[in-house]
Chains A and B, each alone.
Chain A
Amino acid sequence: MIINHPLLGPCDAQEFVYKGDASLIDRPDGMADGTDAAFYDYAYLRDNPAGEHRELWYHEQGDRSWLVVTRNTVTHEITSVELARDVARSMGRSR
């Protein structure tokens, strides 16, 4: 599998480590009301779609950037690769 790194271009998937569902970026506020339930969802509940899936990949053997890869779990086709930093910032996160 080849991941088209947004900065470095096509890179072999063996350089990357899979880090889980991209929803992990959206960590709940630990100080808010009802945070127990929010963290239960965050830590344990995952969608398992047969189809398009957004996931985190870490370029461990490259420039060590975190990526959000949109991959079809049935065909392994990758439709989009973004820097996780840009995705987090577009969601209103400061860093």
Chain B
Amino acid sequence: MHDLAPMTPLGASAPRRDTIGPVTITEAPDWALTSVAARLGQEATSQAALEKVMGNPAPGIAGHTSGAIFSAFWIGPHIWMVEAPYATHPDLAAQIKATCADTASVTDQTGAWVRFDLTGDDLPRLMERLCNLDMGKMQAGTARRTVIEHLGCYVIRHADSITIYGPRSSAKSLHHALVTVAKSVF
């Protein structure tokens, strides 16, 4: 039998955590992700199905909604990414597909992304060097896709933190960009 040890996107056995000045950048590997794309003509029914699974409404344009277990963010017209803790929902995609059935195309995205959670003061000062988004104006509960270090990333603004999802295969490049910029700002 194989005896494989799980590895974080940055290639270590434990998630990386960097504190630079007032900002802490934490690698967060413990999230299951699934994209849900409504099929043509099924926009309303798939949205209703998604609400049934999540217990809270699917987010509107550029929105992020969070509930007790599930949270989700908008990634395009009638396309959403659903998040849930990996420990309790390793089969997130199957669970959502079971409810959405033929109203939506559901794809497991868990292994495709690296997630970094940014906490601390002055996060807009860090983000303004990294991407086009205006963090000063971006309200909590907003999710946008943008470019960071030539990589297409999702940026989610929470009340007191920021979440960045980048391509897992470029996790070290994204981490390097975040740490380098943080060191230059603070």
Q: Which residues of A contact B (CB under 8 A)?
A: 7-8, 11-12, 14-15, 61-65, 83, 85, 95
Task: Provide the residues of chain A in CB contact with B77, threshold 8 Å.
Answer: 7, 63, 65, 83, 85
A61-B152 in contact (CB<8A)? yes
A61-B76 in contact (CB<8A)? no
- Those 5 A-B pairs whose CB atoms lie nearest each other, nearest first: A63-B76, A61-B147, A7-B61, A12-B132, A62-B145
Asked whether B40 is an interface residue with its Cβ less than 8 Å from the other chain, the reply is yes
Task: Provide the residues of chain A in CB contact with B144, threshold 8 Å.
Answer: 8, 62
How many residues does chain B have at the interface if contact means C-beta atoms less than 8 Å apart?
13
Judged by DSSP, the binding face of B is strand
Interface string of B14-55 (1 = CB under 8 A from A): 000000000000000000000000001000000000000000
Q: Which residues of B contact A (CB under 8 A)?
A: 40, 61-62, 74-77, 132, 144-147, 152
A7-B62 contact given A62-B144, A63-B75, A95-B40, CB 8 Å threshold: yes
Once the chains are docked, how many angstroms separate the CA of A64 from the CA of B77?
9
A63-B145 in contact (CB<8A)? yes
A65-B61 in contact (CB<8A)? no
Once the chains are docked, how many angstroms separate the CA of A61 from the CA of B133?
12
Task: Provide the residues of chain B in CB contact with A14, threshold 8 Å.
Answer: 132
B132-A64 in contact (CB<8A)? no
B76-A65 in contact (CB<8A)? yes
Once the chains are docked, how many angstroms separate the CA of A63 from the CA of B144?
8
Once the chains are docked, how many angstroms separate the CA of A95 from the CA of B152?
27
Once the chains are docked, how many angstroms separate the CA of A65 from the CA of B62?
13
B61 to A, closest residue via Cβ? A7
Task: Provide the residues of chain B in CB contact with A83, threshold 8 Å.
Answer: 77
B40-A61 in contact (CB<8A)? no
B134 to A, closest residue via Cβ? A10
Task: Provide the residues of chain B in CB contact with A85, threshold 8 Å.
Answer: 77
